Amino acid sequence: MANVREKEQFLRFLRGRGQRVTGERLALFDEIFSQHGHIDAEELLRAMKARGLKISRATVYRNLDLLVESGLARKQRLGSRGFLYEHMHSGQQHDHLVCTGCGRVVEFVSPGIAALQAEICRAHGFLPARHTLQIAGLCNRCAEGAVSDGLGVAPATGRLVHV
């Protein structure tokens, strides 16, 4: 359990807003921090029930949004359907490279984007900001294989890489 720091941050966040620390919130926290890549609410719910935890769909959705507000998780559209959540690696903002062939998602960090974002915002009078950058393309594996195999979609694995 290496998320002591994050869990404390979460507790502080809750107490600071006069919100309660419930068993469900802690369980959800543990679950999402035990996951590696991106996960959607429905799957998270399934995973928790599979572990024998009793929690309802509404609670999962509600508290995922809470986790996002606390800055410990991020909510994003990556697939064509629904939102995906991911916990934050020590607050580091990163972006995604999505392979249109196999669905693999690679995370990366590129300092250049921050500069670009600042420049664009300045030009339009926009205030600070968050951004979402997704690059779609073919990963090396799919680019080679190309038409060669008719395999389905491989499970998406997320790894954080610096450019």
Partner DNA sequence: CGGCTATTGAGACAGAATCTCAATACGTAG
Partner DNA sequence: CTACGTATTGAGATTCTGTCTCAATAGCCG
User: Which residues of this protein are in contact with DNA, per CB under 7 A?
Assistant: 14-15, 18-25, 40-42, 54-59, 61-63, 65, 80-83
138 binds its own copies (CB under 8 A): yes
Q: Scan for tokens 């679950």, then name that residue.
A: 31
161 binds its own copies (CB under 8 A): yes
Q: Give the number of other CB atoms < 10 A from CB of residue 121.
A: 14
What is the Cα–Cα distance from 32 to 30, expressed in whole angstroms? Answer: 6
Find which of its own copies, DNA, none residue 62 binds, CB within 5 to 8 Å per kind. Answer: DNA
What does the chain come to in residues? 163
Q: At what angle do helices 57-69 and 23-34 cross, to 10 degrees?
A: 70
Q: Closer to DNA by CB, 77 or 162: give it.
A: 77
Q: Closer to its own copies by CB, 1 or 136: give it.
A: 136
What is the Cα–Cα distance from 46 to 43, expressed in whole angstroms? Answer: 5
What is the Cα–Cα distance from 132 to 103, expressed in whole angstroms? Answer: 18
77 binds its own copies (CB under 8 A): yes
147 binds its own copies (CB under 8 A): no
Of 128, 150, 152, 155, the one binding its own copies by CB under 8 A: 128
Q: Closer to DNA by CB, 11 or 113: give it.
A: 11
114 binds its own copies (CB under 8 A): no
112 binds its own copies (CB under 8 A): yes
Nearest to 27 by CA among 69, 3, 55, 6: 55
